[in-house]
Amino acid sequence: MQAMMLLEPGPVEKEPLAVSELPDPEPGPGEIRIRVRACGICHTDLHAVEGELELPRLPIIPGHQIVGVVDGIGEGVTRFGVGDRAGMPWLAGTCGECSFCRTGRENLCPDARFNGLHVDGGYAEFAIAAAEFAYPVPEGFDDVAAAPLLCAGIIGYRALRLSDVPEGGRLGLFGFGASAHVTIQVARHLGYEVYVFTRSEEHQEHAKKLGAAWAGTSKDAPGVKLDSAINFTPAGQVAFDALSHLDRGGTVACAGIYQTPLPETPYEMLYHERTIKSVANFTRRDAEELLEYAAEIPIKTEIQTFDLMDANAALLALKKSEIRGAGVLVVSEG
């Protein structure tokens, strides 16, 4: 199979992903093989490729927003059949035995494994998934439109839950890329008033079209205090700015796997029970609930496509905030 493989991390400007010819992988017990049709690109991919995340193995094939067709099944698999559409997200597996797994918090499992980090991901013609950590793709979404749901959508949904928006409350979204453009649709569906903070005027207009009550930069004043906020950017300064917009009792949820340090924070900014918290991965329940919402609303993903062989250029466009909505690699035609 062909794949875009990371041999050594480096700036995406230097094209660290290399075209590679590899043997087709074979599914083991409890696994499925997916012929990849589409794979979303994600800031986590960018952080991994550029070495901002600790890489447990090299070389590695990135990618964890994978949609394709099951074309091979390992022993004991009953969840999928050959020909079924399936999606692979960030979470590849957990131990199932630790205190976190036993109490519905598998996202915190110390032995969790992730697609595109511990196991090869979807920047390739085939990918292997544990059947219990893959998902049927909702009808009504083509392969490319479904791909961003599998991380941008799921992590945005978990961040929305952890931001503790009160009923009918005011929610701030800081940064407006792939995850935020899905999250705003869920938030509006749930009856929240949404305020979007982003430097890009194009992204501000996009937010308004998706139902934002207001859009500006993180330094602008929306004229109201926020009940909750989500920081989708990797900038600690933006999380600090989000905190400054909160009303009493408000929460800032930081949705990224990587963030630069927070500025020194005066205690009075946290006083009156304001909270800032991280969002670490997600659970299978989060994935199932988001995919149900995707079909119910239905969520509309805005997509910019790239060929698999152009993965370096796609990540560079992501780095420069040049993608409106979500970027997706098209690997094969359905």
SS3 assignment, position 275? strand
List pLDDT tens digits, range 28-50. Answer: 999 999 999 999 999 999 999 99
The percent of residues above 70 in pLDDT, for the chain, comes to 100
Count of residues making up the chain: 334
Q: Kindly calculate the radius of gyration of the chain based on its CA atoms and give it in whole angstroms.
A: 19
Q: Which two tokens stand for residue 98?
A: 């630790």
pTM of the entire predicted model: 0.93
Q: Which two tokens stand for residue 264?
A: 């020194």
User: What's the farthest any 2 CA atoms get from each other in the chain?
Assistant: 59
pLDDT level of residue 324 (50, 70, 90 thresholds): confident
Q: Which domains does the chain have, with CATH numbers?
A: 2-149+281-330 (3.90.180.10), 154-278 (3.40.50.720)
Contact 7, 49 (CB under 8 A): no
List pLDDT tens digits, range 192-209. Answer: 999 999 999 999 999 999
Q: Which two tokens stand for residue 178?
A: 């792939």
Report the distance separating Cα 316 and Cα 318, nearest Å: 5
**pLDDT at 104 > cutoff 80:** yes
Q: Which amino acid would we find at residue 147?
A: A
- Mean pLDDT computed over 251-256: 96
Q: Which residues contact 221 (CB under 8 A, 6 or more apart)?
A: none
Tell me which residue of 142, 167, 127, 107 sits closest to 287, measured CA to CA: 107
At 334 the pLDDT is 63
Tell me which residue of 152, 167, 159 sits closest to 229, measured CA to CA: 159
The percent of residues above 90 in pLDDT, for the chain, comes to 96
SS3 assignment, position 57? coil
Output DSSP code: residue 264: P
List pLDDT tens digits, range 126-148. Answer: 999 999 999 999 999 999 999 99
Contact 33, 80 (CB under 8 A): no
